[in-house]
Amino acid sequence: MIRAVLVAVMLWATSLPAHAIYADPPLPDPAQEERAQELMRILRCLVCQNQAIHDSNAPLAKDLRVLVRERIAAGDTDEQAVDYIVERYGDWVLLNPPFKATTLALWFGPVLVFLLGAASIVVYQRRHRAEAVAAAPLTADERKRLDRLMDDGSGA
């Protein structure tokens, strides 16, 4: 009996942090709440920086969650709600950098470096193979020397 109570208490204790994250009151409309939660996952907590406001307990993250819910409840589309926050905090508040002229290098840089590397490997390999094929056949002298060496070796 005591063991059962202990197990129950331990299970309950491990579930506590999960509740703490969702401490703020949800929107009455489950569909809207769902959308708000989705947005909270793509918005960066500016205090903790590599965490979404969805699972950060920084006071500012909480304020921003309240704000996101407010915008959604007020009839904003997802895009409008996100833009509202980006206007104030900049693109950096988005965990995924937006796709635009200033971020082209960010999006394509790694691909470009990969392609350059792949291209140089291909070019190198091809040249190497061409050289191997182009190697001159042995002269008569060389062949004789080789044969002699091979004969010596066979006796060992």
Q: By the criterion CB under 8 A, which residues form the site for other proteins?
A: 46-47, 49, 59-60, 63-64, 67, 86-92
What burial class does residue 43 get, using C-beta atoms within 10 Å of its C-beta: 0-12 exposed, 13-18 middle, 19+ buried?
buried
Nearer to other proteins, 25 or 153 (CB): 25
Burial of 78 (0-12, 13-18, 19+ CB in 10 A): middle
Question: Of 86 and 95, which has the nearer Cβ to other proteins?
Answer: 86
Q: At closest approach, how far in Å is the CB of 131 from other proteins?
A: 9
Strands (E), 28-150: none
Closer residue to other proteins, CB minimum distance, 9 or 146: 146
d(CA 24, CA 88): 23
CB of 47 to other proteins, least distance (A): 6
Name the minimum Å distance from CB 148 to other proteins.
23
